[in-house]
Structure 1
Amino acid sequence: MNLPTTAAGVHATLANAFNTGDVNTVLSMYDFNGIIVPEPGKAVSGRASFEEAIQAILSIKGKMEIKTVYCLQTGDIAVGRSEWNITDGEEVKVTAKGIEVMKQQEDGSWKVLIDHAFGALENLVA
């Protein structure tokens, strides 16, 4: 399992792990004390909820691509903005714009503390 050693590497590592079905790497990239928003309006936390959200995304057949729009870091905290999609050939299964808060771990790797997968959508109402 190769976890990212830079905050800017989190998106690429996540996409690669999803595309290879590497559930363990995906799960290891999250801080379960944080929050994941697997669908608009549904924020969850805790290991069981994270696992359920990850399994739901992994069940979507296709290729995940994550484009890093920006990644701003100060010390051991970073915020990223992403544009991501899952496609199957020409068919777009999911497309969204996300916001992620990441925290550097003691071993130098980075974990996602808050993953708002749809947090940058224009019509999102909190």
Structure 2
Amino acid sequence: MNLPKRAEDAHATLAAAFNTGNVATVLSMYDVNGIIVPEPGKSVSGKEKFEEAVKAILSIKGKMEIKTVYCLQTGNLAVGRSEWNITDGKEVKVSAKGIEVMRQQPDGTWKIVIDHAFGALEELVA
């Protein structure tokens, strides 16, 4: 899977990666030295923890869709706000609003450095 060449394409590329069901493909979207929040109140970092988090999300069988609400970029950094869900047919298994920070790589592609999958939920308090 090709990494996105524009920050605003990171959400769509991430959804496509998840929909492959392949852990390595999903992990390629992330800077695993960053942070992922796979569930409210739980943040993890490092390759091993990222892999565990990705496997847990992939265990929710269904199709992931991510809508980009906005993506703001300055230089090699960007922040995005997303609305995402995992569905199985008409059944919505997970639905949330996230905030993601992306960094442009030396080759011009973008990776997610911070993925707070639930960071824009109204009832969430930091």
TM-score normalized with structure 2 length: 0.97
Counterpart of 1:75 in structure 2 is: 75
Counterpart of 1:53 in structure 2 is: 53
Deviation at 1:52, TM superposition (A): 0.4
TM-score normalized with structure 1 length: 0.97
SS in 1 for 2:71: strand
Unmatched 5+ stretches in structure 1: none
SS in 2 for 1:2: coil
Structure 2: distance between partners of 1:59 and 1:32: 20
CA distances 1:32-56 after superposition (whole Å, capped 9, x unpaired): 1111000000011000010000011
Q: Does 1:6 align with 2:32?
A: no
CA RMSD of aligned residues (A): 0.7
Q: Does 1:95 align with 2:67?
A: no
Letter in 2 for 1:47: K
Preserved contact between residue 3 and residue 25 of structure 1 (Cα < 8 Å): no
Q: Does 1:25 align with 2:25?
A: yes
Structure 2: distance between partners of 1:98 and 1:29: 16
Count of residues paired in the alignment = 126
Structure 2: distance between partners of 1:47 and 1:89: 32
Structure 1: distance between partners of 2:19 and 2:114: 21
CA distances 1:71-119 after superposition (whole Å, capped 9, x unpaired): 0000000000000000111111000000000000000110100000000
Identity percentage of aligned residues: 80
